[in-house]
Amino acid sequence: MAMRRAASSAVRALTASSGVNSFNRHLSSAPESKKIVGVFYKANEYASKNPNFVGCVENALGIRDWLESQGHKYIVTDDKEGANCELEKHIPDLHVLITTPFHPAYVTAERIKRAKNLQLLLTAGIGSDHIDLKAAAEAGLTVAEVTGSNVVSVAEDELMRILILVRNFLPGYHQVINGDWNVAGIAYRAYDLEGKTVGTVGAGRIGRLLLQRLKPFNCNLLYHDRLKISPELEKETGAKFEEDLDKMLAKCDIIVVNTPLTEKTWGMFNKERISKLKKGVLIVNNARGAIMDTQAVADACASGHIAGYSGDVWYPQPAPKDHPWRYMPNQAMTPHISGTTIDAQLRYAAGVKDMLDRYFKGDDFPEQHYIVRKGELASQYR
């Protein structure tokens, strides 16, 4: 419940305007020693299996030696929840907090208030909805993420999930490992992707890449967003803009969610909206779990109204063992993995290192990386 309140508080802040209060903590040249805390998932025995597996606690984005050689203190943990967790011990005196969407540390207004030395919040990856952005802006903090670092990874994963659902792959896989052989049990609901209508809710960097990757499959491509994609990309992909979200959804055989989690999109796919979708619709959601009404999705999968649901995002994360999506039929869910391929890890680790280096020197970050700067939220969160 506390986690839900924290995340709800963060999301409610996304669209609010904000000013910077009197205890402004904008970035400045920072040559003195800094305390940097990173919160990542623990890899245990897998940490040593790949030298490029940098996104875990054990390998700490590969920046420990670099930071410590410059006199900075670097604390890394996966323990992020509860009053006695490891992260809480460092809140009062840390200067920089590095978090990740794959194992999010919920940065609440209460935590920000107690973090008297905090100046910079970095997301190793894309998506900073685990942070109370209004509170960060009011505290004069800078929030930034490594924009573009895992868009290829997520778009490829979405395409894979579409094919897994369309071809009814998982029942066949389960037959093999269970020693069964029943072609009819797979074929009765396996289809071609060609000719199907696919709509993406959101056509930002990931959504645009997905449209390009779907083009060779000869689908009918639709998209809904607050902004239209370029005429050149519309022509290249054949994708058609749909201004009315519900009208687009009603046309779709397959829906892919590619929109940020904001106050407007929290619970966007509720029972009422799902009831208006085509019976037998397939849904892929690698955006954020809280965009969906959890129980409404589980009920629709159970009834067959949703014929297949796949994604890697849950609410909360990590998902509890009794989360209904673990046990609902016709699902192809995984932990939050799509954006943390080895290639993506190397990109977001390099991006974090670059921003830390700029922070130490007092230089600006690449403009597209800013989520909160000088009291202003990035446009996608307004």
The mean pLDDT values, 10 residues at a time, for the chain of 382 residues are 47 41 48 92 97 98 98 98 96 97 95 97 95 95 96 98 98 97 97 98 97 98 96 98 98 97 94 98 98 98 98 94 97 97 98 98 96 91 77
Counting Cα atoms < 13 Å in the Cβ hemisphere of 36 gives 30
Backbone angles phi, psi at 290, to 5 degrees: -70, -5
pLDDT of residue 26: 53
Report the C-alpha gap between 153 and 337 in whole angstroms.
Answer: 9
Report the C-alpha gap between 58 and 47 in whole angstroms.
Answer: 6
pLDDT of residue 31: 57
Backbone angles phi, psi at 57, to 5 degrees: -55, -45
pLDDT of residue 20: 41
Report the C-alpha gap between 301 and 174 in whole angstroms.
Answer: 19
pLDDT of residue 22: 35
Closest C-alpha among 359, 295, 364 to residue 327:
295
Helix (H, G, I), strand (E, B) or coil at 222: strand
Q: Determine contact, residues 284/307, Cβ cutoff 8 Å.
A: no
Positions annotated as catalytic residues are 150, 288, 317, 336
Report the C-alpha gap between 341 and 348 in whole angstroms.
Answer: 10
Backbone angles phi, psi at 83, to 5 degrees: -65, -25
Report the C-alpha gap between 287 and 299 in whole angstroms.
Answer: 21
Taking the chain, what is the end-to-end CA distance rounded to the nearest angstrom?
26
pLDDT of residue 382: 75
Q: Determine contact, residues 291/261, Cβ cutoff 8 Å.
A: yes
Calculate the dihedral angle through the C-alpha atoms of 248, 253, 254, 259, rounding to the nearest 10 degrees: 10
Q: Determine contact, residues 151/368, Cβ cutoff 8 Å.
A: no
Query: Pairing relation of β-strands 142-145 and 370-373?
Result: antiparallel
Residue list, annotated binding site for substrate: 126, 150
Please report how the helices 151-166 and 342-361 are oriented relative to each other, as an axis angle in degrees rounded to 10: 150
Pair of tokens at residue 355: 């921003």
Report the C-alpha gap between 305 and 301 in whole angstroms.
Answer: 6
The C-alpha angle 264, 265, 266, rounded to 5 degrees, equals 100
Domains of the chain: 35-147+342-381 (3.40.50.720), 150-333 (3.40.50.720)
Q: Determine contact, residues 335/23, Cβ cutoff 8 Å.
A: no
Report the C-alpha gap between 289 and 307 in whole angstroms.
Answer: 18
